[in-house]
Amino acid sequence: MTKRSIIQIDEQLCNGCGLCISPCAEGALELVDGKAKVVKEELCDGAGFCLGVCPVGALTLDIRDADPFSEQAAEPIKAQKEQHYIAQMCSFCRILEDDAYLLPIKHKGKALWACTHCLPRLIHQ
């Protein structure tokens, strides 16, 4: 165990939509009995890419004692997920993440992706 940043899931808020599963490249999150769960602490690197997509704010980063992240354990899962990965697209101009950098954003309770071309326009709206 080591004190580190790791995802915390509020089960009361989680509605089981599953939107957080795909952004986690390491496969740390799965739906279990209709709720998101960190299936193995060693797979969560605490990067927080899942945070922005949760429509109900059920995900936060916590600093607590947890198993250390294991790149070795995550690598085969990352390789497997990459084979079936569906590229995300900007919610505004529809450009794919293969062709632009995408950032998770939220607006009026919706989880969206914004590319770096559209983001400045949104900032100045």
Tell me the HSE value of 108 on the side-chain side, using a 13 A CA sphere. 0
Structure tokens at 16: 């089981």
We find the least distance from the C-beta atom of residue 72 to ligand SF4, in angstroms, to be 26
- Classify the C-alpha dihedral 28-31-36-38 as positive or negative: negative
- Which of 18, 48, 52, 104: binder of ligand SF4 (CB under 6 A)? 18
Q: Between 56 and 75, how does the x/- string for binding to ligand SF4 read (CB under 6 A)?
A: x-xx----------------
Question: Which CB sits closer to ligand SF4, 85 or 120?
Answer: 85
Q: Cα–Cα–Cα angle for 97, 121, 53, nearest 5°?
A: 45
Q: Is 8 in the site for ligand SF4 (CB under 6 A)?
A: no
